[in-house]
């Protein structure tokens, strides 16, 4: 997350918690996180909506978010979770963790809003163990040019409403350029039950996948 001020720290966390907690998005989180294992880092933890979907194979979760306003929501979910969680208010572009610290790194609806997303992805690669896996569930650049034009037009407004969120980031290319190797990925339109039907195509593709540090 990025940004500052009253909206960013007070209004946006409440808004995101409400909008992102629907059953369709929960189902996608469960699907994306089903094979996460071991020592895990989640960048852009937000209000903790991914927490109930981590499988028992996760031994400890380090959860980070740059937005201080997310913490009160996240702490409530952490309190009711049996998973060991180390919560830190830091950004993903300069992680304090040593090289090769994690078996898994997770990003769910986060790469759209990190200011220096390329740095964050390289940091994610750095803190993964060799053979460690990066799990991602993101929205981004659409496949057809008409959608892309709308995404580019709407992104300046979306960055204000969504606290830095971009509609037009090419998630597949960003992950590949970080040095991670994508081993599985699927793209699909955002579930219509999650948002108003007319917004679905302009939100573009959903990207769900796994990449490996070689």
Q: What is the pLDDT of residue 3?
A: 45
pLDDT at 161 over 90: yes
The beta-strand segments (E) located in 141-199 are 181-189
- Confidence grade of residue 190 (pLDDT, cut at 50, 70, 90): confident
Residues 59-92 have pLDDT tens digits of: 999 999 999 999 999 999 999 999 999 999 999 9
Take residue 20 and report the two structure tokens written for it. Answer: 């992102």
pLDDT at 33 over 60: yes
79 contacts 58 by C-beta, under 8 angstroms: no
50 vs 30: CA distance, rounded Å:
8
Helix (H, G, I), strand (E, B) or coil at 81: coil
139 vs 109: CA distance, rounded Å:
7
Q: What is the pLDDT of residue 203?
A: 61
More confident residue, 63 or 205: 63
The number of residues in the chain equals 214
pLDDT at 2 over 50: no
Average pLDDT, the chain: 92
More confident residue, 205 or 213: 213
Q: What is the pLDDT of residue 1?
A: 38
Asked whether the whole model's pTM tops 0.85, one would answer yes
CATH of domain 5-212: 3.40.50.150
48 vs 41: CA distance, rounded Å:
13
212 vs 182: CA distance, rounded Å:
6
172 vs 163: CA distance, rounded Å:
22
pLDDT at 196 over 60: no
Nearest to 167 by CA among 155, 149, 150, 157: 155
42 contacts 92 by C-beta, under 8 angstroms: no
Residues 83-138 have pLDDT tens digits of: 999 999 999 999 999 999 999 999 999 999 999 999 999 999 999 999 999 999 99
Question: What letter does residue 129 receive in the DSSP assignment?
Answer: E
Q: Which of 118-122, 165-169, 192-196 has the lowest mean pLDDT?
A: 192-196
């Amino acid at each position: 997350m990025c940004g500052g001020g009253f909206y960013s720290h007070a209004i946006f966390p409440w808004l995101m918690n409400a909008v992102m907690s629907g059953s369709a998005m929960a189902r996608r989180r469960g699907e994306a996180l089903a094979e996460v294992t071991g020592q895990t880092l989640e960048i852009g933890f937000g209000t903790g909506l991914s927490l109930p979907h981590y499988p028992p194979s996760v031994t400890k979760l380090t959860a980070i978010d740059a937005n201080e306003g997310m913490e009160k929501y996240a702490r409530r979910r952490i309190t009711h979770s049996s998973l060991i969680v180390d919560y830190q208010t830091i950004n993903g572009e300069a992680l304090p963790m040593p090289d090769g610290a994690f078996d898994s790194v997770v990003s769910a609806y986060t790469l759209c809003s990190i200011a220096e997303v390329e740095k964050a992805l390289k940091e994610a690669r750095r803190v993964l163990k060799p053979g460690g896996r990066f799990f991602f569930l993101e929205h981004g650049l659409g496949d057809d040019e008409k959608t892309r034009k709308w995404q580019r037009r709407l992104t300046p407004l979306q960055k204000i409403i969504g606290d830095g969120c971009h509609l037009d980031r090419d998630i597949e290319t960003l992950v590949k350029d970080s040095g991670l190797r994508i081993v599985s990925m699927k793209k699909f339109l955002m579930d219509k039950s999650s948002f108003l039907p007319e917004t679905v195509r302009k939100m573009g593709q959903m990207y769900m996948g796994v990449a490996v540090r070689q």
